[in-house]
């Protein structure tokens, strides 16, 4: 008769699973094998606490995403590796969540200092309680809007955000030492990437850009979402600086069927990621948005199936659009899927050809990511394709 695995066994099994998929620094591995994630998730089945999945800890009524959750452990490991916290560091975390990530940070900095802030009083109290219970009472927990940071314990050697950030607040700049590291899930043109940045004077420069997904921070409203049909089962998400005529797009989807298909020369395998197409497109094209299509819309055949229905890149201009598609073809057993674009509207095929150009550019160097240089909006932008936001300018170059 098999015995039920213990928390220690489950924790080590999870870490082994993560190590099987990605490289993790020895100190991060040690912290993840030490800190009991289950202690930060009371009421959750033990085995569920040690699966590589996010766990909601507080719902957000009327909203599609929770108010707070425990992040996917492999993403936690990835971001801690990007941060590179060292013994003695003074670290600020934006988004306390369960307190688990702050506990890992406390293990990494040793006699250093960890401050974590959260806007929600219940979440902050939960983090304080669990950190105390697990012996991490030296972590400072502050109930506050994370956009305001925590000047009382500044300056910080490292800052990490565990919520999706659309713009980088000046408060974070002002409290990060020169040479310090900032890791955050940065949102632009409908996507989210965990970006690791190092401060050099009035510039933040990237050396790591990884795909991720996070609940957005409260208080930044630069992203817009608009339905493209009466039932809101087809939606477009875009940034405030983008001109999107949602009424014209809705009319186009209603009256222009079926989609025109424009294939690219790029094929992918069944387990091969092609999210880099989106990233590549944003480094030179301000028409990139996100298309969301629900299962209901697909069942009703309201639209040709996007590559990833819940979140696919789409080029939008006037009353026309073109979005990423993936089609199975049996020609190449190693890479049986062809990437392409579905076009709607009078200029849809031109947009589709432009999207195919982005696909082919990605296909020629699939693992290459752009260099990101961020400057405060008040100081002007660095060289490269610039995305302007109220508090920061983001320059992307390949």
Phi then psi for residue 53, to 5 deg, are -140, 155
Whether 238 and 222 have beta carbons less than 8 Å apart is answered as no
DSSP state of 77: H
* Cβ neighbours, 10 Å, residue 281: 25
Please name the residues in contact with 63: beta carbons below 8 A apart, sequence gap of 6 or more. Answer: none
Which are the catalytic amino acids? 71
Q: How far apart are CA 4 and CA 35, in angstroms?
A: 20
Q: How far apart are CA 174 and CA 287, in angstroms?
A: 32
Q: How far apart are CA 386 and CA 204, in angstroms?
A: 14
Please name the residues in contact with 301: beta carbons below 8 A apart, sequence gap of 6 or more. Answer: none
Q: How far apart are CA 117 and CA 95, in angstroms?
A: 6
Q: How far apart are CA 239 and CA 311, in angstroms?
A: 15
Whether 123 and 58 have beta carbons less than 8 Å apart is answered as yes
The verdict on whether omega for the bond into residue 258 sits within 30 degrees of 0, i.e. cis, is yes
> Residue 296: helix, strand or coil by DSSP?
helix
């Amino acid at each position: 008769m098999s015995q039920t695995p213990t928390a220690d066994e489950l924790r080590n099994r999870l870490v082994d699973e993560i190590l099987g998929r990605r490289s993790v620094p020895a100190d991060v591995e040690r912290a993840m094998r030490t800190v009991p994630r289950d202690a930060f998730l009371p009421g959750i089945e033990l085995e569920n606490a040690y699966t590589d999945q996010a766990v909601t800890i507080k719902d957000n009524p009327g909203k599609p995403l929770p108010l707070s959750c425990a992040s996917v452990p492999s993403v936690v490991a990835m971001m801690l590796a990007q941060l590179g916290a060292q013994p003695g560091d003074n670290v600020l975390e934006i988004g306390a969540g369960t307190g688990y990530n702050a506990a890992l940070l406390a293990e990494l900095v040793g006699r250093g200092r960890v401050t974590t802030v959260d806007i929600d009083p219940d979440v902050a109290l939960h983090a304080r309680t669990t950190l105390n219970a697990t012996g991490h009472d030296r972590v400072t927990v502050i109930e506050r809007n994370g956009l305001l940071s925590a000047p009382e314990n500044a300056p910080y050697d490292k800052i990490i955000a565990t919520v999706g950030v659309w713009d980088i607040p000046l408060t974070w700049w002002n409290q990060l030492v020169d040479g310090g590291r900032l890791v955050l899930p940065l949102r632009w043109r409908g996507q989210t990437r965990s970006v690791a940045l190092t401060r050099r004077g009035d510039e933040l420069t990237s050396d790591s850009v990884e795909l991720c997904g996070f609940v957005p921070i409260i208080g930044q409203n630069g992203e817009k979402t608009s339905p493209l049909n009466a039932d809101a089962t087809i939606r477009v998400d875009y940034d405030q600086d983008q001109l999107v005529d949602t009424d014209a797009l809705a009319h186009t989807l209603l009256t222009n069927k079926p989609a025109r298909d424009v294939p690219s020369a790029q094929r992918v395998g069944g387990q091969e990621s092609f999210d880099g197409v989106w990233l590549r497109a944003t480094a030179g094209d301000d028409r990139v948005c996100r298309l969301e299509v629900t299962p209901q819309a697909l069942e009703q055949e309201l639209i040709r199936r996007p590559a990833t229905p819940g979140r696919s890149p789409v080029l939008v201009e006037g009353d026309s659009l073109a979005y990423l598609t993936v089609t199975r073809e049996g020609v190449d057993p190693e890479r049986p899927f062809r990437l392409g674009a579905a076009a709607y509207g009078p200029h849809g095929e031109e947009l589709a050809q432009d999207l195919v150009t982005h696909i082919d550019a990605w296909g020629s160097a699939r693992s290459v990511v752009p260099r990101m240089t961020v400057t405060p909006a008040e100081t002007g932008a660095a060289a490269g394709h610039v995305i302007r936001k109220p508090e920061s300018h983001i320059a992307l170059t390949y």
